[in-house]
Structure 1
Amino acid sequence: MNKNASAVPQEKDEVIYAHLHAAICDSKLLPGTRLPEDTLSVSFGVSRTVVRKVLQRLACEGLVAMRPNRGAQVAEPSVNEARDIFATRRILECGALAEMQNPIPAAKLESLRALVEAEDAAQMSGNRVDAIRLSGEFHIELAALTGNLVLTEMVAKLVARSSLIIATYGSPIAVVCRHSEHEQIIDLLARSDAAGAAAWMQEHLLTIERGLRWEHPASDLQEVLRGVMANARGGKAD
């Protein structure tokens, strides 16, 4: 068997997964958007089998729903599911901060501050998509300071699902993390006040949840895919 030949589909799996994952988490593909295998197959130039594997992977992560006789669509988290996800994040992220070893290396804190500065710049320029993405990266990098890979992976998956919840129920302003709250968490960690940072994180995540609303629009798959493919080619959509 030709090993190179078998590697190509796997590589395409990863590329397609990365594109769809980013499109969902960046709110380009909104909750409820149908994801027909034939449309995705043509757009990405792969077989429906490859597309199906990617969709099943995204479904396992809670980002896509596989509907019997209706195909796949971007998941639409229920209100209860949304609340459960934020409750789980509070348990994991606050617990991680309370157990974090001190002192945290200055270089790690500076890396967090750089993310907050980039998030602030995105908010100031009105780039909500980048602001939400950078906010998520902040929470993931913060969890990574524990050195617990399993915890970090769980937080990363919950952050991705939170992006979907924000796309479903989020108001344009209220649910974007305030960079000042992130700065406060860093300052508390710099003072080795892990308990204070955990308490601040608890309120921070509750504030985001309180900003949720309960209605959402739909997105156009063909339009999003044109943009995705144009970005992949480094050019503009036709």
Structure 2
Amino acid sequence: MDLQLKSKTAFISGSTQGIGFAIAKQLLKEGAKVIINGRTQKKIDLAIRKLTEEIPDADVYGIPADFANADEVNQLLAKLPDTDILINNVGIFELKPFAQIGDEDWSKIFEVNVLSGIRLSRLLLPKMLEKKWGRVIFISSESGINIPEHMIHYGMTKTAMLSISNGLAKLTKNTEVTVNTILGGPTYSDGVAETITQIAQAQQQDITEIKSYVMNNYNPSSLLQRFIDPSEIANLVVYLSSPLSIATNGSALRADGGVLNTI
């Protein structure tokens, strides 16, 4: 299927690894021009090298910025060209008991996970509305619906994404601009892999055993019964980026492996 993305330009926040990197790869395979983002130029260069090794004709470059640093974000915004597709993907998470989540923790996770999408959308959405074509996609999580007791601050940010995305979609009437949210499930991203590895080393257990324990104890309702691969999230994102997805707007679509047990 031709997703009609060859003339489109996409920006993906937090895309030097994990879900963002997988989205970049899929968009490049569809012929889109992609602007990636990471905290440092070194990370961007490494990601571009990996992408171009797999896709030699990839039209890709990057803009560094740490979304926890307002000055760096402002510099990134000043450098961003007109963009057809905005993927609000950047995010951080941590396992932390509620009583130990300090004000700084709440502020930082909101700054990165929520304000990043607000700032980028505030810049790029009006230009899309002017052209009457564009795509804005927020990468949220099933944790925004089923708030994890050990990551309440993280869950809060993912719920906020749903509100922002739904509200922005109401601004797109009578255009071919859409704003949607992906509710991802437990995905074996680089960050999750690092956490699993640390737990396995601390407990002197096999990584496979820890992965199985985490799935069985924290995601027992999963129908997939395994971690989701980042590419499996990217497949849905790339479809939503396509002109073919015009009838899907203001929606929260699940790519959660069946973790959410709601209709």
| Bin for the TM-score computed over the shorter chain | under 0.3
Under a length normalisation based on structure 1, what TM-score does the superposition of the two structures give? 0.27
Larger Rg: 1
Q: Which has the higher strand share?
A: 2
TM-score by length of 2: 0.26
Query: Which has more helix, going by share of residues?
Result: 1
